[in-house]
Amino acid sequence: MSFVPPPDADSAQLVITNFWNAHVREYDEHAMSRLHVGPMAPVWTSVWTAVLPAPPADILEVGAGTGQMTALLGAAGYRVTATDLAEGMLEAGRRRCAHLGGRVRFETGDAVRPAFGPESFDAVVSRYLLWTLLDARQAVAAWVRLVRPGGVVMIVDGAWFDAEIPVTGDSPYDSRLVERLSFARWRGVDEIVALLRGCGLSAVRADPLDEVTRWERAELPPADTAPQFRIWGRRPPGRP
């Protein structure tokens, strides 16, 4: 099943979505994608559970891809709604998480314009998504509206591209597209902290994920690794 765009869909977003639909297997078989299982599974689980409300809280995972983190969240007892614009990614996620039953559901959905009502979730989370968003501010502002008062918005990401995104093969991330991406180039974690604060979150902090970074540097080529962070904050109880 392929993603059917809305009539007003952005052509750049269609290019991005089609690229990821065409590279599901490559994404899921990449060495980094396999580091969420085995010895790293409890480490990655703790990245989320150290901050998220206790299970069975309602979690929205935006840009969920093939459900690698969805599977860990579901296994930890959370009720997870996982969304992505690439339906091929979601199909892979459904297969990965089939053993979790009704605890996890996958829906085609836009991270920038999520189609859920206000205060629908206890937390909104993303991993390795921020760099490919066309409008990161609009996305984060929407995530804040979706969480209940006191709820959490959490971004896990890293310093992937401090110069420019390397374009190889049929990648659509050329200079024209990169100019439209809010965080294609890493300009420091402080900029993401400022984004979360500017969208109304309180007590925003950035936690270095040193164990994740060390493990990946031991297992992956240097070009595939980068310092990673958990950047998160809470929606103030009285925020409308």
Residue ranges of the domains in the chain?
A: 11-234
Tokens matching residue 229: 């962070």
Query: If you average pLDDT over residues 32-41, what whole number do you get?
Result: 77
Per-residue pLDDT of 121-173, as tens digits, reads 999 999 999 989 999 999 999 999 999 999 999 999 988 776 566 666 678 88
The strand pair at 121-127 and 228-234 is best described as unpaired
Average pLDDT, the chain: 89
pTM value surpassing 0.75: yes
Query: If you average pLDDT over residues 217-222, what whole number do you get?
Result: 81
* DSSP 8-state assignment for residue 105: E
Predicted confidence at residue 34, as pLDDT, reads 67
Q: How far is CA 235 from the centre of its chain?
A: 18
Buried b (16+ CB within 10 A) or exposed e, 16-25: bbbbbbebbe
Domain 11-234: assigned CATH number: 3.40.50.150
